[in-house]
Amino acid sequence: MPNSEETRLWERLRDIRNRIQEIADLEARGAIFGSGAADGSLDPERERLIKETEDILDRLEAMYN
């Protein structure tokens, strides 16, 4: 059974995935409708979330090894 730290990490990964999907949706709509989201303004947030994902995966890997 996962411990609370492991559960918290998996939940955060879920939240990050959801936000990255939201960003992708905003950018797609921006490209279609010409809004600002397609201008790369969300790139820093996406990059930060990707880095956080890598850190979380490293922590989970350490728990399993």
List per-residue pLDDT tens for the chain, 65 residues long: 568 999 999 999 999 999 999 999 999 999 888 877 889 999 999 999 999 999 999 999 999 88
Delimit the domains of the chain by residue range. Answer: 4-64
Alpha-carbon distance of 50 to 20, in angstroms, equals 9
Looking at residue 60, its pLDDT comes to 96
Spatial distance between the Cα atoms of 1 and 27, rounded to a whole number of angstroms: 38
Question: pTM score, two decimals?
Answer: 0.88
Nearest to 30 by CA among 47, 49, 43, 15: 43
